[in-house]
Structure 1
Amino acid sequence: MTTPPDCGPAPLVLGAYLRSLRLAQGLTLAEAAWAIHGSAATLSRMETARVPLRWEDASTLMDHYGITDCPTLEAAREWTTKTRWGVIGDAAPGWQDRLRACEHHASAISVYTSVTVPRIAQAVGCPVDELTLVMAATDEARVRVHSLIPGQPGQDVTIIIDGAMLLRTLGHPRAMATQMAHLHRLATSAGGPRILVAPLQAGAIPPAGNLYQLQLFGHELWVSEGYNATYATGADSETYRRCLTAGLGAAKGAKMSAAMLKVASTRFERLATPKTPGDVLERLTS
């Protein structure tokens, strides 16, 4: 499914953000619509990008939901003027909340990663890389993290992991072992996500950070995530599409990928418990 040319990423992302803020406040559509003197049906269409979202309504809703800082409001104001732009960047405060909102409300998610384990698949309470730690320390979350739970079916999720991540010690080896074991549980759980590993020798060039393909409110939305987020739709997403397609083509099947995650978990566990310098060398070469 592709996004019609008259709907860029801005209304999709802003609509998902407003919906998540409303739900975080425990408000129904009717209760929140009262703030803009509208109906529940109208607000629902705003949240799902089926009608234009005016700045007056967006600012009123954000204030109603407790968002009052100027940088976030200014970014939202700018987005309401760029509804047809095919590419839009988001480095304003709360950018992670807006990406989390898109993850929450997407019916399907595909993500290709080479630097950090995607938030949706991170072991709870066990960050394993600098990017996650930095972002968690500097950005107050208003939208809760969307995490996959082993054995609990939900969205259609595919995660492609660059093979280098199974070799790099992005954090403490013990944390990496925990994370790889968590990925293995997800990959082998009934109804769980598809987690595929693209080995180094396959030659696919991975994204610089995390690359997402989201099916959001009936539209296809692409996201490049690093220390900020860039959203794209339509023809402007073609580079992202080629990258994800190459990753899928290079990835091993689900069974082989699960076995590779298991081996990586064991390897990191061994690295976490060396006894002597000689033992370290033996473990690294075994």
Structure 2
Amino acid sequence: MPTTPGPTVRRRRLGAELRRLREAKELTVDQAGEHIHRSGPTISRMETGQFRFVLRNVSDLLDLYGVTDDEQRQALLALVKENRRPAWWHSYGDLVPRWFQVYIGLEAEASTITTFESLLVPGLLQTEDYARAVIRAASPELPAHEVDRAVEVRMNRQKILTGDQPVQLWAILDEAVIRRHVGSPTVMTRQLDRLIEAAEQPAVTIQVVPFTAGAHAGMIASFTILGFPDTGGASETVYIEAPTGSLYLEKQAEVRRYEAWMNQLRSSALAPTPNTLSIITAAREDLQR
């Protein structure tokens, strides 16, 4: 966990402030876009931190929004200047879509990550071979060297789980995750071993929602809640991923709804130890039969 907000959090903080200023002036995104010769959708992407800020554009928007206080202007423009250093994942920009680069940045700067997965082991806990099997299944057209690069991205993301200040990860998995055979029996066995090992890390908590729990709050979709240190912006963001895009929710009412669902999932799931470890071990033993 970084001790100061990184570029993605700063960008989203700036975007949120620009949205607040625009709405205070009762301007639409199209009106704001026209002022800087950009489209309304581009303004929307700026306000959600998914578009690279240009100093002149931000300055012109501040003029439009009536921001005349020099201290406030300089503080906001400083956020633009601080975002110019490329992050490690930018070198994979030809492979990783822009919408997922935003998520990697948020993930890298989060202090807590709470995730529910209904189908697959979370990327932060995948082994290389499991990740490779998933990527090949999802993108069969990718040549081998691009699959290798995609696996590299996934493994690099996992570095946030180690170090002096690792992110606090709480992963809740449907039992289908540990029962579905991804890759060969050997690949799946090693993946289950990885989950057992990860569960022993102080910063990682894993729970499994057993089939016997019946219907539960996560049956509609997998989702992740990212928590951040106080950066002057939203302290929590809900992330929902789809095959070709993503959805971010930051309004307090929306976040609270997903937090309630996550708490229901915690209650439906087995205790981290010993019950969750026991069911993962049982799934591993079934692979050997």
- State the TM-score, normalizing by the size of structure 1: 0.59
Q: Tell me which of 117, 120, 138 is aligned to 1:116.
A: 120
Q: Deviations over 1:107-163 (max 9, x none)?
A: 001001011111111113432654675369489779774216887661111000111
Correspondences of 1:232-271 after superposition (within 5 Å): 232-233=249-250, 234-255=252-273, 256-268=275-287, 270=288
Matched, 1:78 2:82: no
1:185 is matched by which residue type in structure 2?
E
Q: Deviations over 1:8-52 (max 9, x none)?
A: xxxxxxx96xx26xxxxxxxxxxxxxxxxxxxxxxxx84461676
Q: Tell me which of 106, 109, 121 is aligned to 1:102.
A: 106
Q: CA 1:224 to 1:257, structure 2 compared with 1: closer, same or farther past 3 Å?
A: same
C-alpha separation in 2, matches of 1:94 and 1:151: 26
What residue in structure 1 maps to residue 13 of structure 2?
49
What residue in structure 2 maps to residue 231 of structure 1?
248
1:229 is matched by which residue type in structure 2?
S
1:49 is matched by which residue type in structure 2?
R
Count of aligned pairs between the two proteins: 204
**Secondary structure of the corresponding residue to residue 146 of structure 1:** helix
Q: CA 1:185 to 1:132, structure 2 compared with 1: closer, same or farther past 3 Å?
A: farther
Shift of 1:260: 1.7
Alignment gaps of 5+ in structure 2: 20-38, 50-95
Q: CA 1:150 to 1:237, structure 2 compared with 1: closer, same or farther past 3 Å?
A: closer
- After superposition, the CA RMSD in angstroms is 3.7
The more displaced of 46-55 and 207-216 is 46-55
Q: CA 1:236 to 1:205, structure 2 compared with 1: closer, same or farther past 3 Å?
A: closer
Correspondences of 1:175-254 after superposition (within 5 Å): 175-189=187-201, 191-203=202-214, 204-218=216-230, 219-227=235-243, 228-233=245-250, 234-254=252-272
Maintained 8 Å contact 1:210/1:226: no
C-alpha separation in 2, matches of 1:196 and 1:150: 17
Shift of 1:251: 1.1
Maintained 8 Å contact 1:161/1:198: yes
Shift of 1:216: 2.5
Maintained 8 Å contact 2:227/2:237: yes
What residue in structure 2 maps to residue 155 of structure 1?
167
Matched, 1:166 2:187: no
**Secondary structure of the corresponding residue to residue 173 of structure 2:** strand
Q: Deviations over 1:57-114 (max 9, x none)?
A: xxxxxxxxxxxxxxxx99765312568xxxxxxxx93222211111110000100101
Q: CA 1:244 to 1:116, structure 2 compared with 1: closer, same or farther past 3 Å?
A: same
The more displaced of 257-266 and 178-187 is 257-266
Aligned residues: percent identity? Answer: 19
Shift of 1:265: 2.3
**Secondary structure of the corresponding residue to residue 170 of structure 1:** coil
Maintained 8 Å contact 1:48/1:217: no
C-alpha separation in 1, matches of 2:239 and 2:227: 11
Q: Deviations over 1:177-201 (max 9, x none)?
A: 1111101000023x24001111111
Maintained 8 Å contact 1:196/1:252: yes
The more displaced of 117-126 and 194-203 is 117-126
C-alpha separation in 1, matches of 2:118 and 2:133: 12
Runs ≥4 residues deviating over 4 A: 50-55, 73-77, 135-144, 148-153
Shift of 1:241: 2.8
Q: Deviations over 1:212-235 (max 9, x none)?
A: 011134311111123132111222
Alignment gaps of 5+ in structure 1: 1-14, 21-44, 56-72, 84-91, 271-282
- State the TM-score, normalizing by the size of structure 2: 0.58
